[in-house]
Amino acid sequence: MARRLIVLVVLSLSLIGVSVRAEGESPQHIIAYFSSWSIYARQYFVTDIAADMLTDINYAFANISDSGECVLGDEWADTQFSYPGEKEGDGLLGNFHQLELLKEQHPDLHTLISIGGWTWSSKFSDVALTDESRKKFATSCVAFMKQYGFDGLDIDWEYPTGGGNSGNVERPEDTANFVLLLTELRTQLDAQGGIDGEHYLLTIAAGSNKDAVSKVDWKQVQEQLDWINVMAYDFAGPWTPTTGHNAPVYQSKSDSSANNNADTALKAYLAAGVPAEKLVLGVPFYGHIWKEVGTQNDGLFQPYGGISGEGTLDYKAISKDWFPLMERHWDDVAKVPWLFNPKAGMMISYDDPESLAYKADYVKQNNFAGVMIWELSNDSPDHALLTAVHDALLPNE
């Protein structure tokens, strides 16, 4: 009778949208994005994922159609690309089928379809605008999730507070409509969950600057969500007037701004009413590179003359190509490294196993919900960064 009562209580909580942790489930999550485009030039496939070190995979990205519905982002990569041993005519192929197979091998693994992202957020304002448009969008997203075997939805609206990609539709009422959109998504996910006897996940990716926090009613938002992935990176890059740390934990002594760090961002969400157990620290598996940098302060927080390439490097490229050419430095306040070559005038801000292990410890110490990774194909072939996160956050799993 006691066991039956527990099952009924858990099911009831699931049906009303309360996130329920199953027996044995990790207290913290390790969530990683897998991008559809990684199978092309990067040659990184679902079969390369070290799923035993993850609790959740966010698939990037689904798009939004002109009619305001959730649609495939890359039909060939998502559902048609033939992995070894598969052929056209076998039914569902591509990355989506491989994710289904991966979950069969790892029953505790959850997959979420991420919708939008930097490039495909242009229509969020439209789908959030009216009750009718919200219902239509949510219905299509839940159907998409069910059709392709995902366990939830991850909304990557960059950003309801504005400042996203050029060409995005933006309205003053976006912040209020953002709450209404998430509420409709939660309602429809719970309705489907009631039919299926499941709790379907709803999460978001959220910004880390002041506007991202101050302009949204986060008390209402967090009630609809299982967790919030805070993108605590890109605090410095090719768009900033000086070099700097891409993703520091704390404010560096050399940084004049108190806002450019993960700790300030996460504390802002706490102050806005988001409980710690719903906050996930986003970490980058990439860095930024500058050239024509002066030698003062070993290149940190210095003006520069240009950037190398597009200004962004995967960790695997940094570790393979740049480690031998540059000297590593460590900011013991910010808890992140950087590389500098004074003769070449080159500086790289990045994360490595030491800084990521520290970030995982920071998550545990503050009882946050876990770590989110952007993104898996950026790691070295031996999964050095993912291993560092896993071993620090979930050492016994």
Q: Is residue 76 a part of any domain in this protein?
A: yes
Residue 212 lies in a domain: yes
pLDDT of residue 27: 75
Over range 76-83, report the average pLDDT.
97
Per-residue pLDDT at 4 exceeds 80: no
Q: Is 373 within the bounds of a domain?
A: yes
* 158 tagged catalytic: yes
pLDDT above 50 (res 11): no
Number of domains in the chain: 1
- Would 290 be classed as within a structural domain? no
- Give the pLDDT of residue 327: 98
What is the average pLDDT across 17-44? Answer: 77
Note the pLDDT of residue 7.
33
In the predicted structure, residue 17 carries a pLDDT above the cut 80: no
Residue 68, domain member (yes or no): yes
For a pLDDT cut of 70, what percent of the chain falls above it?
A: 93
Q: Is 251 part of any domain?
A: yes
Q: Residue 54 maps to which CATH number?
A: 3.20.20.80
Task: Taking residues 5-9, report their average pLDDT.
Answer: 34
Catalytic-labelled residue, pool 158, 173, 184, 375: 158
Angstrom distance (rounded) from CA 261 to CA 257 = 9
In which domain, by residue range, is 75 found?
27-285+351-393
Residue 311 lies in a domain: no
Measure the CA–CA gap between 139 and 164, rounded to whole angstroms: 25
- Determine, yes or no, domain membership for 243: yes
Where residue 350 falls among pLDDT bands split at 50, 70, 90? very high
